[in-house]
Amino acid sequence: MADTIGLGPDQIYRDNLESGEFKIQQCADCEKYVFYPRHLCPHCGSSSLLWKSASGRAQVYSTTVARRRPDRGGDYNVCIVELEEGPRMTSRVEGIDPDQVTIGMALRHAIADGGDAGPFIVFNPDNSGEA
Amino acid sequence: MRGKTAIVGAGLSEFGEVPGWGHFELMAQAVERALDDAGLKKNDIDGVFAALSPAGLVSATVSEYLGLHPKVLEGTMLGGSSFINFVQWAALALDAGLCEVALITYGSNARSGGRRPGGMVPTPYEAIYDMRLVNGYALAAARHMHQYGTTRVQLAEIAVAARGWAAKNPKAMVRDALSIDDVLSARMVSDPLTVSDCCLITDGAGALIMTRADRAKDFPNKPAYVLGVAADASHDQIAQMEDLTVTGAARSGPRAYEMAGMGPSDMDVLELYDAFTINTLLFLEDLGFCKKGEGGGFVEGGHIAPGGGLPVNTNGGGLSCVHPGMYGIFLLAEAVEQLRGTAGARQIDGAETALVHGNGGTLSTQVTAILGTENTL
Ligand SMILES: [Zn+2]
């Protein structure tokens, strides 16, 4: 059975991250991009979801500074990022102070080490000047 | 469904800080009071609608605790809106003759028991970023401010209004004066929300008794008839919410109004689930009391405070009265008080209709109910 049906989309996503690749799904039927990974397209219901390399370009849709006591690690950023392909994801912006993150800020992705939780996607400000 | 069922009994436990009482003990206290209020005995209950966070076999636990063998058991967990949602399913079960006396109940010792609210299942694409409940609401507030120019002062107006109502409610947990400056200078929790933009964490329980309308007048107190009720879910994790400035209330509200045959201008009093100040603002917009984006201006100048144009959260709300993890049952209990005319110093003169709006998760589930007195049937 496992030979024909393969792995579920969540596991494939994580395996891709382990290999250093940030891939998201695109629906073969309605052509919309999908994140988080699913078995059925949330737009049209199709199960023909294809893996595509994400450009990694994104912008901040909304952002907050989660306040935390310094002895527990200090303040950190939590944001919702809109990928260039359309879907949004929860993430955080690194490389600048959490209160310097602004809505609309251009970002590039990076793969962070989550230890036992596995790798995960974070973002850095995109200073390349390209739109 | 309009007018076919009614809330005929309501009871709240001691709430605020109630050390030494467990969830189900507080709940039983509320049930005892609701039964007294309705003049019923516990064995009259044949439908149990209950939820607790984290979810277990809660309606079975309630039945066991009270020694009941109910014919209808319901426990759909939608977060804080669960109890407004139960009104819908209790109304349907009663109307279909599946049960005769429905109990809707909730209890939690979230404050004294030290368990913090928000005990939802962590979602895999959120937890790794240490996303807490308050962060999600802060993201919605930040987006609303960005898109519509809403200010922190306008959000603070909502906390100040709630405190104004709490000052009129002897049972509200926090009643001392609160100014806009107090809110702005309070400890920041998740920008732009300070601790004064966030609900209390209290102990407390509530219970409601519902029956069919044809026998509603046989009970000692004025019934609150169910005129309309509707639910919506837009997401679980807030990153999946289509537009952070538009909640599912924009869909549940119109359906509830349609069922009731009424609109926003027909509502005498509003009880809106204010886990955070941004909630009240979003729901006022989405439920049609002002246009999208204009909620900030709408609440200015004490418009929703005592003596303002529109009475909202007349018990002091989750912000200043009570909020033991899930608050929905308290919204309903306050609406019942207002429709009975027994709300004391905070009573809205001649209140015949009440809009109750519940929220669950991170703006995830939205349920609107419209209740009315006999005159609205
Ligand atoms: Zn599709």
Residues of A in contact with B140 (CB under 8 A): 62
- Give the nearest partner residue to A78 out of B124, B131, B143, using CB atoms: B131
Q: Are residues B132 and B206 both part of a single domain?
A: no
> Does the predicted model carry a pTM greater than 0.90?
yes
Q: Are residues B256 and B296 both part of a single domain?
A: yes
Q: Model confidence at A1, in pLDDT bands (50, 70, 90)?
A: very low
DSSP B311-376: -B-TT-HHHHT--SS--HHHHHHHHHHHHHT--GGGPPTT--EEEEEEEETTTTEEEEEEEE-GGG
Question: Domain A57-125 - what CATH class?
Answer: mainly beta
Q: Are residues B173 and B298 both part of a single domain?
A: yes
Q: Are residues B206 and B316 both part of a single domain?
A: no
Q: Are residues B219 and B278 both part of a single domain?
A: no
The boundaries of the domain holding residue B216 are 5-114+202-226
- Chain B contact for A78 (CB, 8 A cutoff): yes
Contact residues for B181 (Cβ-Cβ < 8 A; gap 6+)? none
Average pLDDT over residues B31-50: 98
Q: Are residues B251 and B135 both part of a single domain?
A: yes
Residue B371 has pLDDT above 50, yes or no: yes
Residues of B in contact with A10 (CB under 8 A): 124
What mean pLDDT, rounded, does chain B reach? 96
Which residue matches tokens 């005129």? Answer: B227
pLDDT 10s digits, B223-251: 999 999 999 999 999 999 999 999 999 99
Residue B332 has pLDDT above 60, yes or no: yes
Residues of A in contact with B242 (CB under 8 A): none
Contact between chains at A114 and B128 (C-beta distance less than 8 A):
yes
- Give the nearest partner residue to A90 out of B125, B191, B244, using CB atoms: B125
Average pLDDT over residues B20-43: 96
Residues of B in contact with A22 (CB under 8 A): none
Average pLDDT over residues B20-38: 96
Q: What is the per-residue pLDDT for B89?
A: 98
Q: Are residues B222 and B347 both part of a single domain?
A: no
Search chain A and give the residue with CA nearest B241: A88
Q: What is the per-residue pLDDT for A128?
A: 82
- Chain A contact for B189 (CB, 8 A cutoff): yes
Q: What is the per-residue pLDDT for A129?
A: 66
Relative to beta strand B47-50, strand A88-91 is unpaired
pLDDT 10s digits, B140-192: 999 999 999 999 999 999 999 999 999 999 999 999 999 999 999 999 999 99
- Chain A contact for B133 (CB, 8 A cutoff): no
Asked if B99 contacts B74 with a C-beta cutoff of 8 angstroms, the reply is no
- The sign of the dihedral angle between the CA atoms of B32, B34, B39, B43 is negative
Let me know if residue B119 belongs to a domain.
no
Q: What is the per-residue pLDDT for B120?
A: 53
SS3 B39: coil
- Chain B contact for A90 (CB, 8 A cutoff): yes
Average pLDDT over residues A58-76: 97
**How many folded domains does chain B comprise?**
2
- Domain-wise residue ranges, chain A: 9-53, 57-125
